[in-house]
Chains A and B, each alone.
Chain A
Amino acid sequence: MPKPLRVILWLSIACLGAAALATIALHRGEQINALWLVVAAFCSYALGYRFYSKFIAAKVLALDAQRATPAERLEDGRDFVPTNKWVVFGHHFAAIAGPGPLVGPVLAAQFGYLPGTLWILAGAVLGGCVQDFVILLFSVRRDGKSLTEMAREEVGRVGGVVAYVAILSIIVILLAVCALVVVNALKASPWGAFTIAMTIPIALLMGLYLRRLRPGKVLETSLLGFILVLLAIWGGQWVSQSPLVGGWFTLTATTLALVIMVYGFAASALPVWLLLAPRDYLSTFVKLGTIALLAVGIVALRPTLHMPPLTRFVDGTGPIFAGKIFPFAFITIACGAISGFHALISSGTTPKLIRRERETRMVGYGAMMAESMVAIMAMIAACVLQPGTYFAINSPAGIVGAAPEAAAATISGWGFPVTAVEMHALAQSVGEQTLFNRTGGAPAFAVGMAHIFSHSLGGAVMAIWYHFAIMFEALFILTVLDAGTRVGRFMIQDALGHVWKPLGRTGWYPSILTTSALIVFAWGSFLWQGVKDPLGGINSLWPLFGIANQLLATVALCVATTIIFKKGKTAYAAVTLVPLTWLVAVTFTASWEKIFDANPRIGFLSHARLLASATSPPPGVARLIFNDRLDAGVTGALMVMVALILLESAFLWLGVLSGRKDVGVKESPFVPSRFAAEEQG
């Protein structure tokens, strides 16, 4: 394309993006179409990719087209395999896309659609995409080393230990939060519980079918599994209407929590091929299909956003979680904007598949843009609901009351009209007994998704779409849960192996059972705490998860900044230093407020004091006080770890800048790429 035309094209995209952002930011008192969010996102991503990532690739990372990647140098047909860039892109996206970008934006919508949307766009383009891109390239330059190894080699011993503890902490808290979201979505929902229960025998059947009947035919098996899941959704309607069978699947939150803990333990101890792998295939199949379907649905329906840009809860008095926009919007939305967990994927399988260095830009930066788009779609799904409906679903009974009339009156009193009759009709239309107090984000997202699907893709049956959405989320989340439990088990086995060698043997059953029990106990304790919490648990656990996730992003950005300084690219260090500074400000403020804030709805310690001084304490008060103190302790420990790695990094940076420290980076030596030679010759 001639240069003048290119200039005109990019100027047009910039103007369109600016107009879309102005529309979503400046409209007050009238509703806007959701397509404005989609247009703003597309233009922001296009500009970010074309200009910012190109600048990073050329100036900061100096991608070398002549340099062989580990996939080429160490090719073994197993771990290291040079792979087509689109295939790696798809593989990487499937690995980073989890439930976080779906749940976080739904919860953050309590501030209105504007704060979350702006953070998703700015956070991704300037932070999350950059983190994923630079960590991917640095891992490629180090034979595909993990974040922990890079932290130890480039930052120091403290960096390595903090990375290890941060990863384990985030896994434990993530699993607890994920399980809590599923509990809140499935409690007193026989249709949903039946559908999800059926995915276990379906996965087992898939595992046996793959191993015995059609070895290696995973796509065919996944399609078969998907058809069976659709039948389970359809059958769930009958189950919910049957007094006898419906009763078996009408479970309380505590029963569901226990069932999920038993399931997590079994998934960790059973052979991978039997349950974990087929479930993983099934959930990936459903995930990719549903995300594509949601994008089509939003474009086809072009729904109106009923949520205002800003709600009254920007003052920190929100019913879903307490606290002001800063820092809590930035903690609540992690995965759609910047997620430390992605650094594990960028320094895991993906660097071992990259064929050419220049492809890290498309895979690292590009896949995170796609993930961010998923978060925008989740925000749209939440904001197409009437605000009264949104708050009725997401507000815990401890805030709005357990009785429908009382809850409706409280929410209407906030200026978001809703009636118990309307909510009852909505619950009936989706095949649920009630939609009040269904905290956790998943039910609200499912109602929004069902609204979009039933109005755009046909099939006016809201109930089927709602349960399809619930199945999609729960399946997705339970896959994170069983994979995470097993990863956590391996991490504990690795650590205990240093204490007593047999405990480190991954095939030794006493070790498998002990470490599986330990990891399930760790996340199960937090889950139990969330289930017993009168505020629904999300108020305390989701911020903890956000803090842990952003701590990992802090570790990743510290490693990246250190390498940039060591490579003498000081002038460009702001590329990672600015998002790092922002994250430190967010993490420290959020941690401080969660521990010490005088408002008992925010501060763990003030809540514990309030409970201790209550004249008529609620049942199990000692346990609630213990939970508050435990949460405060965990948050404090996370804060100390951030401080430690920051201090170690800062001393190193000062040493490098003053010339006192060795500036050698631990890159693998340059080897010319045969792919480059083939391309040129």
Chain B
Amino acid sequence: MTRMKQIFAVLVAILREIFDESAYARFLATHHLRSDRSSYAAFLREQAGIKARRPRCC
């Protein structure tokens, strides 16, 4: 059961990383912010430059 929980936790962590939820959590922690519209807007501004320069593979 513990093993299953670990696998599930890793799967959730993978999804959170792929979908930038972890990046947002790190952003909030780094800037000592709470999650709200303005924090997310600031995060999106920071991410825009990074995400837009990231090619999607063929």
Using CB atoms and an 8 Å cutoff, list the residues of chain A in contact with chain B: 77-79, 81, 83-84, 86-91, 94-100, 170-171, 174, 178, 210-212, 215-219, 222, 271-273, 276-277, 280-281, 284-285, 288, 334-335, 339, 341-342, 344-345, 348-349, 479-480, 483-484, 486-487, 490, 506, 545, 549
Q: Which of B27, B53, B57 contacts A78 (CB 8 A)?
A: B27
Using CB atoms and an 8 Å cutoff, list the residues of chain B in contact with chain A: 10, 13-27, 29-30, 35-37, 39-41, 43-44, 46-58
Q: Which residues of B contact A334 (CB under 8 A)?
A: 58
Cα A81 to Cα B27 in complex, Å, equals: 12
Q: Decide if B27 touches A484 in the complex (CB within 8 Å).
A: no
A84-B10, A90-B14, A100-B58 given; 12 more Cβ-contact pairs under 8 Å: A77-B29, A87-B17, A87-B22, A95-B57, A215-B40, A216-B25, A217-B21, A219-B21, A276-B52, A345-B57, A349-B54, A483-B54
Q: Decide if B57 touches A211 in the complex (CB within 8 Å).
A: no
Q: Which of A77, A89, A281 contacts B26 (CB 8 A)?
A: A77
Q: Decide if B44 touches A272 in the complex (CB within 8 Å).
A: yes
Q: Decide if A97 touches B57 in the complex (CB within 8 Å).
A: yes
Cα A273 to Cα B43 in complex, Å, equals: 10
Cα A94 to Cα B20 in complex, Å, equals: 13
Q: Decide if B54 touches A549 in the complex (CB within 8 Å).
A: no
Q: Decide if B57 touches A87 in the complex (CB within 8 Å).
A: no
Q: Which of A81, A86, A272, A480 contacts B48 (CB 8 A)?
A: A272
Q: Name B37's closest neighbour in chain A (CB-CB).
A: A215
Q: Decide if B14 touches A86 in the complex (CB within 8 Å).
A: yes
Q: Decide if B50 touches A90 in the complex (CB within 8 Å).
A: no
Assuming A87-B10, A219-B19, is B55 touching A483 (CB within 8 A)?
yes
Q: Which residues of B contact A91 (CB under 8 A)?
A: 14, 17-18
Q: Which residues of B contact A98 (CB under 8 A)?
A: 56-58
Q: Decide if B53 touches A277 in the complex (CB within 8 Å).
A: no
Assuming A78-B30, A87-B10, A273-B44, is B58 touching A219 (CB within 8 A)?
no
Q: Decide if A341 touches B57 in the complex (CB within 8 Å).
A: yes
Q: Name A170's closest neighbour in chain B (CB-CB).
A: B58
> How far does the Cβ of A617 sit from chain B's closest Cβ, in whole Å?
35
Q: Which residues of A contact B23 (CB under 8 A)?
A: 78
Q: Which of B15, B22, B39, B47 contacts A215 (CB 8 A)?
A: B39
Q: Which residues of A contact B56 (CB under 8 A)?
A: 95, 98, 280, 479-480, 483-484
Q: Which residues of B contact A217 (CB under 8 A)?
A: 21
Assuming A339-B57, A345-B57, A480-B56, is B43 touching A216 (CB within 8 A)?
yes
Q: Decide if B18 touches A94 in the complex (CB within 8 Å).
A: yes
Q: Decide if A99 touches B48 in the complex (CB within 8 Å).
A: no
Cα A173 to Cα B56 in complex, Å, equals: 14
Q: Name A221's closest neighbour in chain B (CB-CB).
A: B19
Q: Name A177's closest neighbour in chain B (CB-CB).
A: B58
Q: Decide if A273 touches B18 in the complex (CB within 8 Å).
A: no
Assuming A77-B27, A78-B30, A218-B20, is B58 touching A506 (CB within 8 A)?
no
Q: Name B50's closest neighbour in chain A (CB-CB).
A: A79
Q: Decide if B53 touches A490 in the complex (CB within 8 Å).
A: yes
Q: Which of B18, B27, B47 contacts A90 (CB 8 A)?
A: B18
Cα A171 to Cα B14 in complex, Å, equals: 28
Cα A569 to Cα B47 in complex, Å, equals: 40
Cα A211 to Cα B47 in complex, Å, equals: 13
Q: Which residues of B contact A484 (CB under 8 A)?
A: 55-56
Q: Which residues of A contact B52 (CB under 8 A)?
A: 272, 276, 483, 486-487, 490
Q: Which residues of A contact B16 (CB under 8 A)?
A: 219
> How far does the Cβ of B17 sit from chain A's closest Cβ, in whole Å?
5
Assuming A100-B57, A272-B51, A483-B56, is B44 touching A211 (CB within 8 A)?
yes
Q: Which of B17, B40, B58 contacts A216 (CB 8 A)?
A: B40
Cα A88 to Cα B18 in complex, Å, equals: 9
Assuming A86-B10, A87-B14, is B54 touching A216 (CB within 8 A)?
no
Q: Decide if B14 touches A218 in the complex (CB within 8 Å).
A: no
Q: Which residues of B contact A90 (CB under 8 A)?
A: 14-15, 17-18
Q: Decide if A78 touches B46 in the complex (CB within 8 Å).
A: yes
Assuming A86-B10, A218-B20, is B55 touching A211 (CB within 8 A)?
no
Q: Decide if B58 touches A480 in the complex (CB within 8 Å).
A: yes
Q: Which residues of A contact B50 (CB under 8 A)?
A: 78-79
Q: Name A494's closest neighbour in chain B (CB-CB).
A: B53
Cα A178 to Cα B40 in complex, Å, equals: 32
Q: Name A83's closest neighbour in chain B (CB-CB).
A: B17
Q: Which of A96, A210, A276 contacts B51 (CB 8 A)?
A: A276
Q: Name B29's closest neighbour in chain A (CB-CB).
A: A77
> How far does the Cβ of B46 sit from chain A's closest Cβ, in whole Å?
7
Q: Decide if B27 touches A281 in the complex (CB within 8 Å).
A: no
Q: Which residues of B contact A81 (CB under 8 A)?
A: 26
Q: Which residues of B contact A216 (CB under 8 A)?
A: 21, 24-25, 35, 40, 43
Q: Which residues of A contact B29 (CB under 8 A)?
A: 77
Which 5 A/B pairs are nearest by Cβ-Cβ distance?
A215-B40, A90-B14, A100-B58, A218-B19, A483-B56
Q: Decide if A222 touches B19 in the complex (CB within 8 Å).
A: yes
Cα A271 to Cα B24 in complex, Å, equals: 18
Cα A487 to Cα B50 in complex, Å, equals: 10
Q: Which residues of B contact A345 (CB under 8 A)?
A: 55, 57
> How far does the Cβ of B57 sit from chain A's closest Cβ, in whole Å?
4
Q: Which residues of B contact A506 (CB under 8 A)?
A: 49
Q: Which residues of A contact B10 (CB under 8 A)?
A: 84, 86-87
Cα A94 to Cα B14 in complex, Å, equals: 10
Q: Which residues of B contact A349 (CB under 8 A)?
A: 54
Q: Which residues of A contact B30 (CB under 8 A)?
A: 77-78
